[in-house]
Structures are given as C-alpha cells and as structure tokens.
Amino acid sequence: MHYQGNIFRPPSEANSILLQITTGCSHNKCTFCGMYKGSRFSIKDDRTIMADIDFAAAHCRRQNRLFLCDGDALIISQDRLLNILSAIRTKLPWVTRIGTYANTKSIRRKSPEQLRELFDNGLQIAYMGLESGDDVTLHAINKGADAARMIDMGKKLRATGIKLSITVLLGIAGKERSHIHARETGRVLSAIDPEYVGALSLMLTPGTPLFDGADRGEFILPSPHEMLEELAIMLANTELSNGYFHANHASNYLPIKAHLPQDKPATLKLIDRALHGKVSLKPEYLRGL
C-alpha cells in the first residue's frame, strides 16, 4: 500500500483495510489536533489508488471492512468517489462495509442525492467530529462550524441512509465552560440523533495551539473528576432514539458502553458511583490517544 505520512482511523476501524485516497485534512486548523500538522492536504492520483485496491484484493481477503483515509476523503469529487467505490465493489466483493471521516464542509458540498448515491454504492458509515455543541467552544477551538451547521449537516447525512458516528471531547471547553459544553453537546447530539456517539477525554498534544495555551495558563484542563462530571451531564442531556453512547476510548478515565435509551439510567448510576469514589478510574499511565 502506498501510504504517505501518518495514517489515522477510528478505533472501530482497527481491523479494516485502510485505503488512503487523500493525505492530511482539508481544514487542519483545530487548535487541539496535531494529527495532520505535518501533512499537506492532497488527493491521491487514481493510478495509485487503484494499485492499492489491487494490493488489497491480493493480500486482504480476511478483512471485510474498508476505511477511506485520511481526514477528509468525502471531499473528493462525486465521479471519482463513485469510481473508487465501484472498484472496491468489483475487486473486493467480500467487503461488507466502507467508512470514511466527514466534516461539515465536505457534507455541505454534496447534495442529498449525491450522498444517497454514495450510500447505494457502498459507503455505509461516516465519522464526524462534533467535539462540542457549545458555539463559544467551537469558535475557540477553530472548528470551522457552529452548532447549527453541525446539526444541519449531521441530519442531512443521516437522511441518506449513511450511518453516523459522532465524536465529542470531554474537557475541550476547559474548566470555565465545562458544564455548558456538556449540556450543549447533549442538546446537539439529541437533535442529530446519530447511531453512534464516541466520547473521548482530551489529552493535550505538544505542538498544538491548545497545548501552548495551557502552557501559558490560558487554558485549564479539567481534572479527571470534572471530566467525569461532564460525562454525566452530557449523557443526562442526550436523547437518542436507538443509538450507542460509548466512552471506552483509551483516553477515558471510566469506560462506558450504553445503548440508549434503555441503558441510560444504569449508566448514569455507574458514573455517579465513580464520582463518589465507589468505582476506580483508569490511572493516568494507562491512558492513550
């Protein structure tokens, strides 16, 4: 496979074929993210992409999922994306699910009919980083979209049949707006009603503006206990019709897996027990990005 730079994928795509069709991220301005700071955004040429699909056809027969890398594969033109999906379907017929990252800019560039066409040709799940439903926080982290646009684009994608997995970040609002961030994020998640929510706990990455701000005392990272309070408030304010709310990423202090709405009361009780010291939290040395 012709990989360039660092390759990133969601935790749930750990066993997927990783097909890199773009490099970097077209936005690449979020203050907390260092994933693509050393990578220039580009779209790979068709010859390289098709060669990698041929490689996967010969060497990846035990993997039935495929993830389109890097940070913004959905931004590729519709004709090229359909050509890639067609090649995957023809040459990798055992692949049962194709996924990609998506942001509001790339979703906005596609019409509902185009998104439906992508779904009909095998794109079954998209991962969108919401991070926060609080407009003040979204502006501070330079996310490039406000809560209203997040809701509109999330609902637009969901209406096409493509499953949506949304990532949110505990601690991203700092101490000052912690509870506001938690409540507003729950509100936005409820409005979008995705199939999956993944809550991660912020870990400051050297070389990012947010890390530098923390070093200068301009950003104060909430404590583990305060992040757990955020999680409780966020979950209490999240209403999903039939979705999964997970906080089992390596960064989290208290792993939880809840199917909403039925698991919500028991999960809130678990978090409350942890807040009162009756459930042990993950030690710092076991956390990871």
All structural domains of the chain, each given as residue ranges with its CATH number in brackets, are 11-279 (3.20.20.70)
How many angstroms separate the Cα of 101 from the Cα of each of 68, 75, 195, 210, 260? 8, 10, 15, 23, 23
Report residue 213 as tokens. 């701000």
Residues 6+ apart with CB under 8 A from 195: 163, 164, 165, 242, 243, 244
SS3 82: helix
Other C-beta atoms within 10 Å of 243: how many? 23
259 burial (CB, 10 Å; 0-12 / 13-18 / 19+) is: middle
Cα–Cα distance, 42 to 4 (Å, whole number): 10
How many angstroms separate the Cα of 21 from the Cα of each of 38, 67, 103, 117, 260? 17, 10, 16, 19, 34
Q: What is the dihedral of CA 85, 89, 94, 99, to 10 degrees?
A: 10
pLDDT for the residue numbered 288: 78
Cα–Cα distance, 84 to 145 (Å, whole number): 28
**Token pair 């994933």: residue:** 35
Q: Do the Cβ atoms of 227 and 168 come closer than 8 Å?
A: no
End-to-end CA distance of the chain: 24
Can you point out the beta strands (E) in 21-96?
22-23, 42-43, 65-69
Cα–Cα distance, 251 to 231 (Å, whole number): 13
Per-residue pLDDT of the chain (289 residues; tens, 9 = 90+): 898 888 889 888 989 999 999 998 888 889 999 888 777 889 999 999 999 999 999 999 999 999 999 878 999 999 999 999 999 999 999 999 999 999 999 999 999 999 999 999 999 999 999 999 999 999 999 999 999 999 999 999 999 999 999 999 999 999 999 999 999 999 999 999 999 999 999 999 999 999 999 999 999 999 999 999 999 999 999 999 999 999 988 888 999 999 999 999 999 999 999 999 999 888 887 887 6
Task: Specify the long-range contacts of residues 83-90, CB closer than 8 Å, at least 24 apart.
Answer: 83/46, 84/19, 84/21, 84/49, 84/53, 85/118, 85/121, 85/122, 85/123, 86/121, 87/49, 87/50, 87/53, 88/19, 88/53, 88/122, 89/121, 89/122
**Whole-prediction pTM:** 0.94
Tally of helices (H runs) and strands (E runs) in the chain? 10, 10
